Structure 1
Amino acid sequence: MVQPAWEETRLDVRPPATRLIDAQRRFDVCHVGLVLRAVLGVQLVLALGLAMSSETLSLWAWSMSGASVAALSGVLAWLLVVCAAKRVLARLPESAQWTLPILLGAACAYGGARLLEAVELGGLGELQRIAAAAAGALAAGVLLGWLKLRERAQAPADALARLVELQSRIRPHFLFNTLNTAIALVRVDPSRAESVLEDLAELFHVALADAGPTAEGVRLSQEVELARRYLAIEQLRFGERLRVNWHLDPHADDVRVPPLLLQPLVENAVRHGVEPNDLGGDVDIVTRARGSEVEIRVVNTVGLPSRAQGHGLALRNVRQRLRLMHDVAARLEAGPGDGRFVVRIVLPR
């Protein structure tokens, strides 16, 4: 039977740069969350295996104390090497991307077994060393398989996040209001009208740009500048009703964040905290570097309820993209307090 054209083997038509970034994601094992999962997973399997071969709890505890030395040293060594070599591994053929990390897993496990002997926590026979190497290779293969599945899952998740972001971020009524503002200014203040259109063009340039590779994110200072442009346009609409306060820490400027992180949050603040209230409201944008973390806060006053009730799309979108980029190392908290609505984001530096 002739195979229909639409059933033919699909070719990967993504640009080479995009394929390279996606491959690097596969070997991105540098996140704290992934390290914790790998270590806890190996420890759990090790604990269950030794429990089946130990007659008493004290014997099991003694065996775990020694085996954990070998297991943890092997796992951490494998993660460290793969993290350091992710750019090199991403450029290799698919077969090598599997073979080398699996062989590395066997070598790390074998090295962990030898370390166990070196610190005199147990003497191992050659068969036990081979078994340790085989277990390391198996563990590396399982982890690689999970990383590959995660990489495949991230592509549609990124696309969905981008779509929801565009829908919730730049709405038709905002474009309509901004163009009306520019038209009204053309005759009385042409230079100001030109500035409004420049800000709007920059916003849409970023919003409608090709999603492309964003694994590394953008600098927080770029996000702040984009939020400034957005609020400058809204300032023309609301005048003195919109009161913006900036509290920016220059030490936080270089932290990497997902593109268009701030703009949906400040839009929400204006829409729900300023627009429905005759007296307007305050919007505070705060960035602060604290040790190994950076805190971002977007705070707006709360008055009358917004006429257009939100659905939480912007917050869900931001939370999803933070999780994709930083895993459990990033946190987003949102809720009311003392007459204000606070969105707080904590990121690793």
Structure 2
Amino acid sequence: MDDSQILSAFPETGRPPLESVPPPPAPTPHARQALVFDACQLGVVLRAVLFIEAVVGVGAMFVAADLKAWLLRFAILSGAAFPGTLAWLFVACSLKNLLARLPPHLQEAAGVLLGALAGLYGCAMLALMGLSREAPWVASGFAGAFLSALLVAALVLRAKSRMPAATAARLAELQARIRPHFLFNSLNSAIALVREDPRQAESLLEDLGELFRHALVDQGEATTLSEEIALARRYLAIEQVRFGDRLRVEWAIDPLAGSSRVPPLILQPLVENAVKHGVEPSHRGALVRISTQRRGGVVVIKVTNTVPGGQGLPGHGVAQHNVRDRLRLLHDVQAQFQTALKDGVYQVRMEVPA
């Protein structure tokens, strides 16, 4: 299946060779991070800078008589606020691991304290440039603390918003895996193989058990792409027994992309959708292709499948919306999610930081 033209906005730079290898070792759960706010993401940096500049621009209006005076005052204040903001972001990001060891209230207090120091740093910049006759040290410190408190509060709320999405995703995937027809078909396949091929029956039951274990274990807010690939392999191994030749699978896995961080339970529901909408409705079956590729600082993940009749059956899109939301929560503006249907081939394409 050539999916290079499905999404013309993201052309292929070369398909990695197809592989047929046994699944990697079973994933190991990750401990949930205790960090209550994260200043390292590109989206956070952009929003923080824009927020501070907006506050500075509004503040400059109170002491400016006309547009020219406002531009001058805005430039002077930005010369102090911009370096202070970058300093806060740099220090907060550099101390990320250290802050994660502190209780939540101390992490927030540290963010506010760093803001006060950033305000004093900005005031020092004004004093060194001779742009302020009397340096407002106290006011600058309190302004930095207040603005950083607002920023920390926004980041904490953003971090907390991940928990409902992750919990809903885990429950939705658990329900999907234990729904009666999936469990019934999987157990029937195992029973049919007990006498004919005991080893394959044992392998199928192990894969089924691993799916349940993965759904029940708390994976934290992120896992590696290689672990998600391992889970998808187990799911497709179960469905391969059920559908036989109707399910044709291609793997194009870039080993350099395996360490990238993704939300847990993000690939398997997309693969399940490919089977449900591509293989099940067609007596001829379908081809499902999973590919990963590292391109510089970006990892591209694709789940592609042929659809019956060239169009397929429309779904509710619950799984895709969930995946998109969790990608944005984890990677913000650095994550991309797109879908397309062209010439009887449906593709989900994601981008995450390498």
TM-score by length of 1: 0.86
**Could you tell me whether the CA contact under 8 Å between 1:168 and 1:314 is conserved in 2?**
no
CA distance in 2, matches of 1:234, 1:208: 21
Pick one of 221, 228, 240 that aligns with 2:245. 240
CA distance in 2, matches of 1:231, 1:251: 23
Identity %: 50
Q: How much does 1:138 deviate?
A: 0.7
Cα 1:97–1:189 change in 2 (3 A) is: closer
CA distance in 1, matches of 2:106, 2:204: 53
Structure 1 runs (4+) greater than 6 angstroms displaced: none
5+ long unaligned stretches in structure 2: 1-30
CA distance in 2, matches of 1:198, 1:92: 40
CA distance in 1, matches of 2:315, 2:102: 46
CA distance in 2, matches of 1:204, 1:94: 32
Pick one of 112, 119, 132 that aligns with 1:109. 119
CA distance in 2, matches of 1:141, 1:96: 13
CA distance in 1, matches of 2:182, 2:241: 12
Counterpart in 2 of 1:123? 132
Report the number of matched residues: 323
Q: How much does 1:288 deviate?
A: 0.8
Cα 1:115–1:97 change in 2 (3 A) is: same
**Could you tell me whether the CA contact under 8 Å between 2:37 and 2:159 is conserved in 1?**
no
Counterpart in 2 of 1:36? 46
Aligned ranges 1:166-315 → 2 under 5 Å = 166-209=174-217, 211=218, 214-215=220-221, 217-304=222-309, 310-315=315-320
3-state DSSP of counterpart to 1:53: coil
CA distance in 1, matches of 2:126, 2:286: 64
CA distance in 2, matches of 1:245, 1:237: 17
Counterpart in 2 of 1:138? 146
CA distance in 2, matches of 1:99, 1:314: 38
CA distance in 1, matches of 2:252, 2:178: 25
Q: How much does 1:98 deviate?
A: 3.9
TM-score by length of 2: 0.85
Counterpart in 2 of 1:6? none
Find out whether 1:332 has 2:337 as its counterpart: yes
Letter of the structure 2 residue corresponding to residue 101 of structure 1: G
Find out whether 1:148 has 2:153 as its counterpart: no
**Could you tell me whether the CA contact under 8 Å between 2:170 and 2:215 is conserved in 1?**
no
Q: How much does 1:39 deviate?
A: 0.9
Q: How much does 1:119 deviate?
A: 4.3
Letter of the structure 1 residue corresponding to residue 243 of structure 2: F
Counterpart in 1 of 2:62? 52
3-state DSSP of counterpart to 2:292: strand
Q: How much does 1:131 deviate?
A: 2.0
3-state DSSP of counterpart to 1:222: helix
Q: How much does 1:174 deviate?
A: 1.3
**Could you tell me whether the CA contact under 8 Å between 2:263 and 2:327 is conserved in 1?**
yes
Q: How much does 1:129 deviate?
A: 3.2
CA distance in 2, matches of 1:87, 1:224: 28
What do the CA deviations read for 1:165-199 (whole angstroms, capped 9, x no partner)?
32345532111111111111111111111111111
CA distance in 1, matches of 2:100, 2:290: 38
3-state DSSP of counterpart to 1:243: strand
Q: How much does 1:333 deviate?
A: 1.0
- Comparing both chains, which one has the higher relative contact order based on Cα–Cα distances under 8 Å and sequence gaps of 6 or more? 2
Cα 1:93–1:241 change in 2 (3 A) is: closer
**Could you tell me whether the CA contact under 8 Å between 2:177 and 2:183 is conserved in 1?**
no
What do the CA deviations read for 1:26-72 (whole angstroms, capped 9, x no partner)?
22121111111111111111111112321222222222223222111
